[in-house]
């Protein structure tokens, strides 16, 4: 019997537990649904790649079978990081691309990221589910072709790299797909590279595949300090997110990296519009505006950031989690490897250490992102209840994604995750650490009440 749980068709990806939510037969059906969806839009050729997860090779074979029997031709690029899949779609002028990955989720998860000229999400994913439910083959089988776009990709990166002073770089591949390509790319450009967790292992034995998870950069910090490196880079499971560690051991999140990348692009006239997700610090739009740029907020999620960029004409975009868009005529999607190359180029052209560049950025009193477990079936209801509570209390609200409550120079963001049964929260104050903590404690107390009303256990929150 085919396993295919409709709940795995999430906000902007297909993602679930392999063997429980779907199996290889279910992936054949998904492949048929994807092929039919592209057929309806005139799409006839798709690029397919897969990440390092242990379940990925079998799911890859099943996906290709499902696609081919709908008449779609497949360009198979094998085990690759997601940025290379995105590059290949445009390089081969394909109708779209499919990456087998569960990104930063635990090892037992897998799924798909699907793109055309933008990420396929929302109602289109629901349409794919319905198309996957139709039995039977559709037409003459499509063609199957194997390609390797890596050398062309590296050449495009070289054209955008600059080398000033020599840099020592530690690369933490997180045992994901980037470990097999990023160190060699950076060495070819001219950087000295130290590696940790760069062997590909889909069980992710050394750290969480999410580099922003608590303690995920602990080993990277230690390696940077031990070898006295200039910078460390930590990638996620499928290689499309990156955060950094300064030579001092300080972990640098995506919103600060976005400020550096956007500020450099604004100064050099390569961009004038920047998109940032709502989880980013308020310092991010404040800094970009001070640099003369225009800013456009977006809901959390790389697909939504990209959509806002395409609608506004923004050239730079990013998230706190480490997704970055540096769009031009060749790179048309998010690319953490390109962002890393740009960041290293920026640093190598400076006479200052990385920590000094970070110290020059505005910084407010911000919490980390808290991810609170919450069942999928009630998380939107809880966010709505929190919104109504603060609306009745008369606080200004911003509702780009979930809600951001303005307490007067101090903010609280509460939103539901698009990829997991979680609520996401972040708190920040321009005034003081005490103001931020006061608001955080008050909001969490209200959230506990909402959980209690629904007979849910509210987890212990640790800083």
Q: What is the pLDDT of residue 152?
A: 97
Closest among 296, 264, 284, 280 to 362, alpha carbons compared: 284
Domains 6-149 and 164-359 share a fold: yes
pLDDT, mean of residues 435-459: 95
Strand partners, 146: 76
pLDDT, mean of residues 111-125: 95
3-class DSSP assignment, residue 268: coil
pLDDT, mean of residues 353-360: 98
170 membership: H or E segment, kind and range: strand 168-172
Whether residue 187 contacts residue 195, with contact meaning beta carbons closer than 8 Å, is answered with no
- In percent, the amount of the chain with pLDDT more than 70 equals 99
CA distance linking residue 179 with residue 79, whole number of Å:
11
Least confident of 10-14, 100-104, 232-236, 243-247: 10-14
CA distance linking residue 266 with residue 100, whole number of Å:
35
Whether residue 181 contacts residue 204, with contact meaning beta carbons closer than 8 Å, is answered with no
Taking 90 as the threshold, does the pLDDT of residue 23 lie above it?
yes
Class of domain 164-359: alpha beta
* Residues in the chain, total: 463
Taking 90 as the threshold, does the pLDDT of residue 104 lie above it?
no
Render pLDDT for 253-262 as a digit per residue (tens, 0 to 9): 999 999 999 9
- In percent, the amount of the chain with pLDDT more than 90 equals 91
Closest among 225, 248, 234 to 353, alpha carbons compared: 248
Render pLDDT for 376-429 as a digit per residue (tens, 0 to 9): 899 999 999 999 999 999 999 999 999 999 999 999 999 998 778 899 999 999
Q: How confident is residue 15, by pLDDT bands cut at 50, 70 and 90?
A: very high
Q: Transcribe 390-440 into DSSP letters.
A: HHHTT--EE-SSSEEEE-SSEEEEEEE-SSSSEEEEEEEESS-HHHHHHHH
Q: What is the pLDDT of residue 102?
A: 94
pLDDT, mean of residues 78-104: 97
Render pLDDT for 166-175 as a digit per residue (tens, 0 to 9): 999 999 999 9
Q: What is the pLDDT of residue 335?
A: 98
Q: How confident is residue 137, by pLDDT bands cut at 50, 70 and 90?
A: low
Taking 90 as the threshold, does the pLDDT of residue 340 lie above it?
yes
Least confident of 159-163, 226-230, 286-290: 159-163
Average pLDDT across the chain, whole number: 95
| CATH architecture, domain 6-149 | 3-Layer(aba) Sandwich (3.40)
pLDDT, mean of residues 276-302: 95
Distances (CA, A) of 267 to 260, 271, 290: 11, 8, 12
CA distance linking residue 320 with residue 257, whole number of Å:
9
Q: How confident is residue 177, by pLDDT bands cut at 50, 70 and 90?
A: very high
Closest among 163, 190, 131, 193 to 4, alpha carbons compared: 131
The model carries a pTM of 0.93
3-class DSSP assignment, residue 22: strand
Taking 70 as the threshold, does the pLDDT of residue 268 lie above it?
yes
254 membership: H or E segment, kind and range: helix 254-267
Give the start-to-end residue ranges of the domains of the chain: 6-149, 164-359, 366-453
Taking 90 as the threshold, does the pLDDT of residue 142 lie above it?
yes
Q: ∠ at Cα 451 (448, 452), nearest 5°? A: 85
pLDDT, mean of residues 84-92: 98
- Residues 6 or more apart whose CB falls under 8 angstroms from that of 360 comprise none
Q: What is the pLDDT of residue 462?
A: 77
Taking 70 as the threshold, does the pLDDT of residue 138 lie above it?
no
Distances (CA, A) of 416 to 136, 374, 375, 408, 463: 37, 9, 10, 24, 20
3-class DSSP assignment, residue 231: strand
Closest among 276, 279, 263, 273 to 418, alpha carbons compared: 279
3-class DSSP assignment, residue 97: strand
Which of the residues are catalytic? 103
Whether residue 432 contacts residue 365, with contact meaning beta carbons closer than 8 Å, is answered with yes
Class of domain 366-453: alpha beta
């Amino acid at each position: 019997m085919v396993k295919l749980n409709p709940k795995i068709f999430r906000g902007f990806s297909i993602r679930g537990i392999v063997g429980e939510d779907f199996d290889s037969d279910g992936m054949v059906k998904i492949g048929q649904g994807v092929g039919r969806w592209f057929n309806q839009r005139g799409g006839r050729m798709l690029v397919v790649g897969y990440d390092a997860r242990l379940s990925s090779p079998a799911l890859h074979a099943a996906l290709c079978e499902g696609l081919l029997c709908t008449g779609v031709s497949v360009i198979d690029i094998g085990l690759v990081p997601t940025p290379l899949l995105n590059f290949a779609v445009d390089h081969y002028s394909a109708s779209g691309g499919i990456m087998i990955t569960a990104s930063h989720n635990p090892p037992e998860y897998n799924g798909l990221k699907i793109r055309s000229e933008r990420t396929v999400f929302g109602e289109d994913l629901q349409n794919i589910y319905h198309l996957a439910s139709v039995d039977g083959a559709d037409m003459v089988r499509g063609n199957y072709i194997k390609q390797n776009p890596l050398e062309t990709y590296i050449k495009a990166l070289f054209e955008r790299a600059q080398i000033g002073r020599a840099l020592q770089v530690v690369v933490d591949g997180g045992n994901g797909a980037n470990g097999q390509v990023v160190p060699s790319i950076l060495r070819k450009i001219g950087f000295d590279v130290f590696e940790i967790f760069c062997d590909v292992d889909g069980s992710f034995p050394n750290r969480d595949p999410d580099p922003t998870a608590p303690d995920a950069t602990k080993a990277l910090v230690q390696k940077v300090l031990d070898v006295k490196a200039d910078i460390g880079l930590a990638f996620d499971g499928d290689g499309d997110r990156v955060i950094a560690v300064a030579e001092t051991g300080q972990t640098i999140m995506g919103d600060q990296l976005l400020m550096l990348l956007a500020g450099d692009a604004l100064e050099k006239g390569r961009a004038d519009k920047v998109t940032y997700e709502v989880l980013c610090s308020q310092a991010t739009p404040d800094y970009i505006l001070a640099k003369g740029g225009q800013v456009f907020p977006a809901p959390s999620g790389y697909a939504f950031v990209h959509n806002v960029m395409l609608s506004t004409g923004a050239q730079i975009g990013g998230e706190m989690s480490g997704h970055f868009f540096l769009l031009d005529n060749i790179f048309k999607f998010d690319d953490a490897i390109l962002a890393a190359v740009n960041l290293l180029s920026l640093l190598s052209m400076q006479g200052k250490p990385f920590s000094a560049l970070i110290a020059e950025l505005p910084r407010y009193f911000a919490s980390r992102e808290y991810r609170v477990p919450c069942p999928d079936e009630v998380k939107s209801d809880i966010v709505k209840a929190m919104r109504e509570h603060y609306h009745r209390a008369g606080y200004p609200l911003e509702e780009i994604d979930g809600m951001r409550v303005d307490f007067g120079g101090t903010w609280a963001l509460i939103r539901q995750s698009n990829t997991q049964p979680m609520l996401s929260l972040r708190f920040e104050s321009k005034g003081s650490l005490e103001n931020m903590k006061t608001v955080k404690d008050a909001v969490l107390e209200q959230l506990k009440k909402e959980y209690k009303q629904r007979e849910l256990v509210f987890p212990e929150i640790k800083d």
